[in-house]
Amino acid sequence: MPHELPPLPYAYDALEPHIDEQTMRVHHDLHHAGYVKGLNAAEQRLLEARQSGDFSLIKHWSRELAFHGSGHALHALFWSNLSPDGLREPSGGLAEAIQRDFGSYEAAKSQLQAAAVAVEGSGWAILARHEPTGLLEILTVEKHQDLAHWGSVPLLALDVWEHAYYLKYQNRRGDYVRAVLNVIDWADVGARYQAAVG
């Protein structure tokens, strides 16, 4: 079954003025769609390689799989993490885990914001739960696939690729990061945390 582009769970202009409609249209309809298309192509070519026994391009298609597959997964997470009318602070089990592992919500938010601004080039700031230890952590992932931490389940992803903010914020990534933090739906993040805890 080929992968499909999930529809945005709200209108393109729903996150205004923090995230503008034109950015959302380009980001979802062109960029995210491109990752879905690339993931399907990589899976198809890997299937053909298994059928023919010709693995001469295995390195290329494996890299394409990691790049487009990670892009698809993290964009789907990112759209779901945002909402025009979501819960604006963590609650329940997630709030307790944030207190335990970061000291306070304010400290976690400060670290998340600093991490998002500091990502080198294109990438993501990600709040994740590390399965082997059960601890929360904040990662700065370059592109989608570099500096990932095996065993960690992403709960919240902040897109800091230039396509996520350049139309409205140009080079002011810090302004964009402050804005996107205003539209996080912590109910979504909390539900993902509870699912990870099991």
CB of 104 to Mn ion, least distance (A): 29
Three-state DSSP at 186 gives helix
Q: Would you say 148 or 164 has its CB closer to Mn ion?
A: 164
- Cα–Cα distance measured from residue 123 to residue 83, given in angstroms and rounded to the nearest whole number: 21
CB of 1 to Mn ion, least distance (A): 24
Residue nearest to Mn ion (CB): 159
Q: Would you say 98 or 180 has its CB closer to Mn ion?
A: 180
Q: Would you say 19 or 164 has its CB closer to Mn ion?
A: 164
Q: Contact residues for Mn ion (CB under 5 A)?
A: 159, 161, 164
Three-state DSSP at 117 gives helix
CB of 28 to Mn ion, least distance (A): 9
CB 184 within 8 A of CB 88: yes
Q: Which residues contact 170 (CB under 8 A, 6 or more apart)?
A: none
CB 154 within 8 A of CB 127: yes
CB of 75 to Mn ion, least distance (A): 6
Q: Would you say 61 or 124 has its CB closer to Mn ion?
A: 124
